Amino acid sequence: MDVKIKTALISVSDKSGVVDFAGKLSKMGVKIISTGGTAKKLSEAGLDVVGIESVTGFPEMMDGRVKTLHPKIHGALLGLRDKSEHKAAMDEHNIEPIDLVCVNLYPFEQTIAKSDCTLAEAIENIDIGGPSMLRSAAKNHKFLTVVTQAGQYDQVIEEMEKNNGAVGEKLRSDFARIVFGLTASYDTAIAKYLNSISGEEYPEKVSIAISKTASLRYGENPHQTAAFYKLPPSSETSTCSGTLLEGGIGISFNNLLDTNAAFELVKEFTAPAAVVVKHLNPCGCAIDDDICVSYRKAYECDVVSAFGSIIALNRKVDVELARTIMESYSRFGKALGASGFFAEVIIAPEFDADAVEIIRTLKTWGNRVRLMKTGPIDRAKIDRGEFDIRCVVGGLLLQKRDLAGWEPDVLTYPTKAKPTKSQLDDLKVAWLVAKHTKSNTIVLVKNKKVLGVGAGQMNRVESGLIAFSHADDESKGCAMASDAFFPFPDNIVNAAKAGVTAIVQPGGSKKDDEVIATADKNGIAMVFTGKRHFKH
């Protein structure tokens, strides 16, 4: 059923495009009712506007807190036009039907994002009348069109122009569906803010407001459907705040997971760093004063796994770095036994235009590689209030993000041998890579370059054997990290055989004394962090 628009109520906080929208409605003979600042803006543009007080018979009061919360408004929105009792009530109380409601809400999230926002200011930006009108109109969308954003204005006008001033059932239904997601998201932001200022980490009810960004080709596997949603914007630089550069094909579900894993690791380092990730685990990571050297070292760590990987960098991709990445296989890969090289995604703070051209014009890659620009990395802007959320069937597990990094002030040194400065540099890299690798994990590093990673094994000994096997003879003189304590000294024995000279681990095992004694016997320097980094 089409519904002709005869009367519209317009009350918007974001006034972008509203004059043009109201003007087109007015030209089609639609009566415009409006409030406060919106009414003033429309009137100043020369449009005929009926003030809300003329409809309700009451002035706006209490600094505008009360203006639309009135039976003549909500009766006009909620009345069922095909029910005689409702029509009689509307006639008796002189309630004129409203056919279109155009409302967007007070900018609560933008307000609380300001560094100097006070509680009083936040409270005043909690919209009451707006959500009430939206919900009333959406509930009765059989007879009303409800508009919530400027991006919908053209759709409404186009439909009205095609249908002699009427809006069809499909569009009304779609817009109504959007309303309840919008108001739920709005209330979620308010609840999150009030919980945060009260210090309540895990409140009785938790709602998560996310907005659809893209439909994806499929999920982890082709038989699974998938879509990409984002949380409300924060000041933290992340994969979700990044922008895909033009020219690449669409990003996939697995790409996004892996890109996030790679970028979160590279964010740990202030020095020029490069990370290569495959299936959520680092297969390469290196630090150097020169970002091109960092990348080359990271790639060399595991050239076989690097095929189809994600490359994350914490420096701009310029022409020199682009060429280094593009030449990885021809210059280094063949010599190291790789059968080829291709990266699914390259993520970095910035890309020079000439660098993008170099990547895009490589025949074998072309637009297959996705380039994601994030902007500058600022660890001071990390969102410490965000939950790390895991799904279980029928529920969610919430925890605070693991933001513990390398903390020199809390390290302890239980062995006779103490790490040198260069060993500490390697231990730091190994520890941070272990933090971002699936448990159980062992990571080997030398000269700030990852040599081997044992990830996701059911026992720590097996993880160590995988890492030692991959590093081979390079492990002599290397540093080793374990994401959790050693329950037995067997890993230390294997590390000594491989030539490991320094180890970092949380400590805290019942057999710490045996583990330390084994390290002392083999001249290995050991560092305790006091924190573990399980990553399931």
Count H helices and E strands in the chain, helices first: 18, 22
Structure tokens at 389: 């959320």
Distance, CA of 7 to CA of 9 (rounded, Å) = 7
280: DSSP letter: T
* Residue 339, burial from CB neighbour count under 10 angstroms (0-12, 13-18, 19+): exposed
Amino acid identity, position 535: K
Q: Quick count: other Cβ atoms within 10 Å of Cβ 44?
A: 10
Sequential DSSP letters for 21-73: HHHHHHHTT-EEEE-HHHHHHHHHTT---EEHHHHHSS--BTTTTBSS-SHHH
Amino acid identity, position 9: L
Largest CA distance in the chain: 96
Distance, CA of 65 to CA of 20 (rounded, Å) = 27
334 catalytic? Reply is no
Distance, CA of 410 to CA of 79 (rounded, Å) = 66
Cis peptide before 260 (omega within 30 of 0): no
In DSSP terms, 212 is beta-bridged to 229
Q: Which run of H or E residues covers position 379?
A: none
In DSSP terms, 167 is beta-bridged to 3
279 catalytic? Reply is yes
Q: What 3-state class would DSSP assign to 344?
A: strand
Q: What phi, psi does 49 have (nearest 5°)? A: -130, 135
Structure tokens at 289: 């004063």
Calculate helix-pair angle for 353-360, 319-326, nearest 10 degrees. 20
| Contact status, residue 501 vs residue 401, Cβ threshold 8 Å | no
| Set 4, 70, 279, 511: catalytic member | 279
| Contact status, residue 226 vs residue 274, Cβ threshold 8 Å | no
**Chain center to CA of 245:** 17
Distance, CA of 337 to CA of 127 (rounded, Å) = 63
| Set 15, 31, 139, 142: catalytic member | 139
Give catalytic residue positions.
139, 279
